[in-house]
Amino acid sequence: MKTNGNIDYWSLMAKYYANECSNEEVNELNSWISENPENEILFYQVKEDLENINLSKSMKKVNVDLAWDKVKNRIQETETEEPRVESKVKIFKMAGILKYAAAIILLVAIGFFSAKMYQSYSKLNVYAENTEQGKVVTLPDGSVVTLNSDSKLVYPKKFAQNERRVVLEGEAFFDVSKNPEYPFIIETKNAEVKVLGTTFNVNAKYPGDQVEVFVATGLVQLSEIQNTENKILISPGDVGVIQDKSISKSQNQDLNRIAWKTKEFVFKETYISDVISTLNRAYNTSITCNDDNILNLRYTVTFRNQEIESIVNVMARTFDLKIEQSENEIKLVKKSI
Amino acid sequence: MNPTEQKTLKRIKEGDIKQFEIVFKEFYQSLCNFAVKYVKNIEQAEEVVQDTFYNIWKNKAELNIITSFKSYLYSAVRNNCLQVLRVRSLDIKYENYYKSHYNNDSVDPVDEINAKELSNVIDKALSTLPERCRIIFKMSRDEGFKYHEIAEKLSISIKTVEANMGKALKHFRIYLKDYAEAV
């Protein structure tokens, strides 16, 4: 280390910052630092240099496209809201759009509720449960949540100073009052959903520990609950999926993703088997069919705000089927000749 | 402002978001690099730059650029960074320090930044390091190899690794000295 009586302090500092120094070398470095203030300054400057080198590496990871999506979404959010004060006709039109703004669907494991939900359910919290459909809950901040069947929500009587946090299991449509400084966060089994937009829909009805988030407009951040650094931003039209620690997103292909809430169904060349499962999910019914000849038929139709009975009747007439209705089940069978 | 920029500005003022996107994507990365110099954290830097663009769009009707997009954007980002620092620093002395050092709105920042963006400086320092020195430095800092592992892989002595690491630090110090003084 010594050359002509002078310590090679550059190598020694490098060694120190690389955690390679022996105790003896640390002492050597210490005495060099205390020798004069300039040495000390240099020691810290080198530290800063190394930090700057790391910073420069992280800067190369800047994602320009993602950043633009963020800004564009902010712009669109403010621009879609402006017309609300301009004319009544526009307000009416906007209501339809806003209903789907930032629509989210979450699918989480049922088991989650017992542990986490009861833990959060204290005197300070309110617990809302719905066994039927369309129960509407108004949160302390004025946000409105529509709960689907078999869905549960825990929220505080009064939200915290810095955020609005709720715990959900099941499916719900959220109409969140906008306040960018006061983020709205939904906790689920292994996911945390941070809403950066205004309104959205949440579904947590399905078993398994997969969480799915669908956004119609607005912007939503989906992250692992244990590690919120593991996150993605989901833009309009995309579905984010989190399973274990992996998060991905893709374009939404399911036209009926929030049909449970809107009662608007669009089927295009859809197999009857898929039509039935979509309807069962939306109406919490048990429509069954055991006949493969029927299940493999394809159906193109649109239903708007109809009772499930009338939908099933239309299907039966279209395909010339017979309805066998019992207490808990609607069964579709071939008409006997 | 050159005629192309004038045309772009006119379109943006009329609400052409495609044009705005082009400008955003052209300057975003370098503005982040610029902002990080002030706020010292890439997330915050991105936030500042995004806010700047968002506010420009929001007030696009009143947008008036005389010099150039580049100059305008850098000034706006710098002012916003200073705002962040002001909020961040509760210490009056600190605030005064920043005021006296940075708060000179009349200076066009573009001239002083071109050669002084952090990653430019570091890239330049890296590229001027002797090759072996650079390889050793990267193996240690980027890939996390221990000195003895580097020595083994490159068939050199540990002493050589130590000497080269010291050499690299000294080299960076020379380049970064100018950078730090420019801030």
- Which carries the bigger pLDDT value, residue B57 or residue A235? B57
Who among B42, B54, B179 is closest to A59 (CB)?
Answer: B42
What pLDDT is recorded for position A198? 52
Classified as helix, coil or strand, A221 is strand
Q: In a structure prediction context, what are the per-residue pLDDT tens digits for chain A, which is 337 residues long? A: 434 346 689 999 999 999 898 888 888 888 888 888 788 888 888 888 888 888 777 666 678 888 998 898 888 877 765 433 333 333 333 333 333 333 344 433 333 444 444 444 444 566 667 666 667 888 887 777 878 777 788 888 778 777 888 888 777 777 776 666 778 888 876 778 887 655 555 555 545 667 777 776 667 788 887 788 888 887 767 788 887 778 888 887 788 877 887 788 989 889 999 999 999 988 888 999 888 888 988 988 888 888 888 899 888 888 888 898 887 889 998 877 6
Contact B180 A48 (CB under 8 A): yes
CB atoms within 10 A of CB A290: 9
d(CA A140, CA A154): 12
What pLDDT is recorded for position A287? 93
- Asked if A71 reaches chain B (Cβ–Cβ under 8 Å), the answer is yes
Contact A20 B146 (CB under 8 A): yes
What pLDDT is recorded for position A134? 66
Phi, psi of A203 (to 5 degrees): -125, 125
What pLDDT is recorded for position B100? 47
d(CA B118, CA B179): 7
Instruction: State the complex-level ipTM.
Output: 0.71
Phi, psi of B30 (to 5 degrees): -70, -30
d(CA A205, CA A173): 13
Q: A220 - beta bridge partners?
A: A195, A234
What pLDDT is recorded for position A119? 46
d(CA A258, CA A235): 16
- A42: closest chain B residue by CA: B173
**Two structure tokens written together for A77:** 């959010």
- Burial string for B50-83 (b: 16+ CB within 10 Å, else e) reads bbbbbebbeebeeeebeeebbbbbbbbbbbbbbe
What pLDDT is recorded for position A130? 66
- Asked if B32 reaches chain A (Cβ–Cβ under 8 Å), the answer is yes
Residue A45: list chain B partners with CB under 8 A.
173, 176-177, 180
What pLDDT is recorded for position B163? 96
Touching B: A residues 16-55, CB under 8 Å: 18, 20, 42, 45-46, 48-50, 52-55
